[in-house]
Amino acid sequence: MNLYEHKEAILENGFTVINGIFSENEVAKIIKVVENIDTSKPIFRKSTDLFAIRQFLKEIPEIKDLIFNEKIKEVIKGVFGNQYFVVKSIYFDKLETSNWYVAYHQDLTISVDKKEIVSGFGPWTTKQDQFGVQPPLDILENIYTIRIHLDDTDENNGALKVIPKSHRRGIYRTEEMDWNRETEEIGKVKRGGIMIMKPLIFHGSNRTFNGKKRRVIHIEFSDVQLQSPLCWAEKMNVFTHNI
């Protein structure tokens, strides 16, 4: 696992894929924990084609030791740095019958513990009692996202499609893009592999065509302390699991 090459790929293109981070046995254990949780809480989002858990690591603390195995800790140290901590976590289950797609976009909001008016932060959103806000650009540029894939994922079951290098342009609208000049890549990931991406890279996903699930654990990392009185909603140290 040449982490230097992956780090360079993220800086240059905005994403990279590393397979083989979780063994088949480790993936099965993670899935078993998820399948046995109480889904009646409002934090869980259920529909005919999507099941999602916000604040995943906070809501299911017993999953942490399974997620942060030695290989993923090695990736975090080698690519981000051991000063990075978790700031957001979501579990997505795009079901076999899913007929929805996600248009190209950038991830522009962070999760915080409360709504406070702070210069440079805004606009605000609220989803299931979770506060989200768009922070200053330098905070967004600092974040890394790891997507842990619990299923083989390709263009037939909603793998992420990305526009390489688009993370280096700051915040802008899809209407500003010259689609005749852009190159699209599909983030194909094997079961047990991860995709690392910068939140400012333009990304989206297509409908599911092959009747296969696409279960993903989405975790965001930063090493920035937010301006008081704002605090990260899910801050967790990877190496000690302290909140």
- DSSP states along 198-213: -TTS-EEE--B-SS--
Looking at residue 48, its pLDDT comes to: 53
Q: Walk along the chain (243 residues) in steps of 10 and give the mean pLDDT of each run.
A: 94 98 98 85 62 88 95 96 95 73 93 94 87 96 98 91 96 86 95 98 88 91 96 92 57
Looking at residue 46, its pLDDT comes to: 62
Supply the DSSP string of 9-40, one letter for each residue: HHHHHSEEEE--SS-HHHHHHHHHHHHTS-TT
Class of CATH domain 3-237: mainly beta
* Pair of tokens at residue 194: 């991860």
Looking at residue 32, its pLDDT comes to: 95
Looking at residue 98, its pLDDT comes to: 59
Write down the domain spans for the chain: 3-237
